[in-house]
Amino acid sequence: MLLKIVAFAMAVGLLVMPPTLAHAQAAAAADDYHANPKFIAAVKEARQMEHEKRAGFAADAYRKANKIAGGRCVECVEGLYDVQMMGGSYKDAMATAKQMEAMATTPMVKSVAAYDRGRAMVASGAEKLKPEQLEEARAAFQEAVDLYPANLAALFNDGVMLARLGRMDEARKDFQQCLGGLKPGNPARLRVEHFADDPELATHRMAPAFEVTALNGAKFNLDAMGGRVVLIDFWATWCGPCNEELPHLRRIAKEFADDPFVMISVSWDEDEARWKEFIEKNGMTWVQYRDADHRLANEFGVTAIPHYFTIDSDGVLTSEMIGSGSDVEGKLRKLIAKAREAKAVARTDGPPTSGVTAAPGN
How do residues 337-360 score in pLDDT, each as one tens digit? Answer: 888 887 776 555 554 444 554 443
Query: Parallel, antiparallel, or unpaired: how do β-strands 229-235 and 261-267 relate?
Result: parallel
Query: Which residues span the domain enclosing 167?
Result: 7-203
Question: Does an H or E element contain 288, and which?
Answer: strand 287-290
Write the CATH number for 260. 3.40.30.10
Question: Has residue 13 got a pLDDT over 50?
Answer: no
Instruction: Read off the amino acid at residue 356.
Output: V
pLDDT at residue 101, as a whole number: 92
Q: Are 248 and 356 in contact (CB under 8 A)?
A: no
Predicted confidence (pLDDT) at residue 18 exceeds the cutoff of 80: no
Are 339 and 318 a contacting pair, CB within 8 Å? no
Looking at the structure, tell me whether residues 129 and 236 fall in a common domain.
no
Judge if 109 and 197 occupy the same domain. Answer: yes
Of the candidates 314, 197, 309, which has an alpha carbon nearest to the alpha carbon of residue 260? 314
Per-residue pLDDT tens digits for 75-95: 899 999 999 998 889 999 999
The answer to whether residues 198 and 217 belong to one domain is no
- Of 203, 233, 263, the one marking the end of a domain is 203
Give the model confidence (pLDDT) of 122-168 as tens digits.
988 766 788 999 999 999 999 999 999 999 999 999 999 999 999 99
Q: What is the mean pLDDT of the chain?
A: 84
| Same-domain pairing of 113 and 237 | no
Query: Where is pLDDT greater, at 206 or 9?
Result: 206
pLDDT over 50 at 38, yes or no: yes
What is the model's pLDDT at position 21? 52
Same domain, 14 and 155: yes
Q: What is the mean pLDDT of residues 169-175?
A: 96
Q: Does some domain include residue 2?
A: no
Q: How many domains does the chain contain in total?
A: 2
Q: How many CB atoms lie within 10 A of CB 169?
A: 8
pLDDT score for 347: 57
Overall average pLDDT of the 204-213 stretch? 84
pLDDT higher than 70, residue 16: no
What letter would DSSP give residue 88? T
Counting beta carbons within 10 angstroms of the beta carbon of residue 217, is it exposed (0 to 12), middle (13 to 18) or buried (19 or more)? exposed
Domain end, chosen from 149, 168, 203, is at 203
User: Is 355 among the domain residues?
Assistant: no
The pLDDT confidence band at residue 109, using thresholds 50, 70 and 90, is confident
| pTM of the shown model | 0.72
Give residue 315's identity as a one-letter amino acid code. Answer: G
Shared domain for 168 and 223, answered yes or no, is no
Q: Does the pLDDT of residue 12 top 50, yes or no?
A: no
Q: Does the pLDDT value for residue 15 go beyond 60?
A: no
Q: How far apart are CA 3 and CA 84, in angstroms?
A: 15
CA distances from 178 to 154, 159, 359 (A): 9, 9, 30
Q: What pLDDT, on the 0 to 100 scale, is given for residue 355?
A: 52
